[in-house]
Structure 1
């Protein structure tokens, strides 16, 4: 079966903010970026989605360029930024396709929300290289991906179940030899037969793969954590992998 990642996120944009509770998510990101002292910098949000991280960065007085391959996600993010009277610049590019005009521009780059799991193995090294290229000397990057070593060892299909006043959302995996299919089942609570299922392919990049490629790109600083409290990463237990990079 063929999966179109851009089409998946274009479709998801119709309900994404209600599924994740975007207002609460923005508040969490403001607290995170405040903790990291990301204020008054030139920044980039890679795989911006509905704009949660971009809005958090901009609220703190950072200049923000936001990149995403999904035009409809960018439209959703842009709408939110206009409503909040924030000046965020949106660009319709995947990480590996960011033009050279952005090279050495940013003091801080983030790519959160498991974005790099949407990048194919062939494009992962070019994506890491672009992240390095767009950073200023001694600029920092913060990347989040799920710990797929743990996910692949457990093979638990249900990720989570959330709901709002009218709609329930079930997020779950299908496991295959060389990839994972990520599914969102959306249905009306009072009439579950009124439902929609959308799916896309994810690439479960392991810690070994990520470590090898990042070393090949040759960042001057490279650290791995299990969460945003920056506790030590444990490949057998950590739910998330947080990567801190310095050019």
Structure 2
């Protein structure tokens, strides 16, 4: 692979993602999600994937909610399943397998996987069903638990119990950055930095959609949030592309009568 990692279109960027691939997808709610890559994956056909991400709070009609509604997600590893009604319906009916993980633990599992760390100990979840096992991962159609979480290995350090958590490596990582260069160095804007770097690290092949593409050397090394070693493909998205729209998950404003602007 040459140093220039750019591809011509989002369709080309995700064209080789196969049936059953695992994905680490950046973003938090609707903030910083790779919406153009998700839309392109939806258009690829009836490929079903599994997905690891710190959140699942997208709306039913945007982001991964589109893949979910189309029945294209088989399994989720998440820390918050939010208010997506279709997500709840699929989970409770046994159509979707869900592993719930404490958010900090999931973030560290993604980072550890990307850093080549197979497992680590954490006190989060010790003494709960997270450690003891028995959490419903998948329900049967009759409402019984079909697949439950296994117990985790524990160890005591300085009198405190810790759980052994495994790092996460996925087949692909999908992220969105404000600026990227042709070598894959990325800069994220404000809170869009959230889990994008972790998802990028976890993917064996990471694809980044960027709003502004610059030439190598234009980015000050001190400004780079994620080095290009973690990124294999870069594709530019344009503001006038409906799939690249940055949506607001929940607009909270006051009316003029209530003293708003």
TM bucket by the smaller chain?
Answer: 0.3 to 0.5
**Structure whose residues are more often strand by fraction:** 1
Q: TM-score, normalization: structure 2? A: 0.35
| Structure possessing the higher relative contact order (Cα contacts under 8 Å, 6 or more residues apart) | 2
Q: TM-score, normalization: structure 1? A: 0.36
Question: Which structure has the larger Rg?
Answer: 2
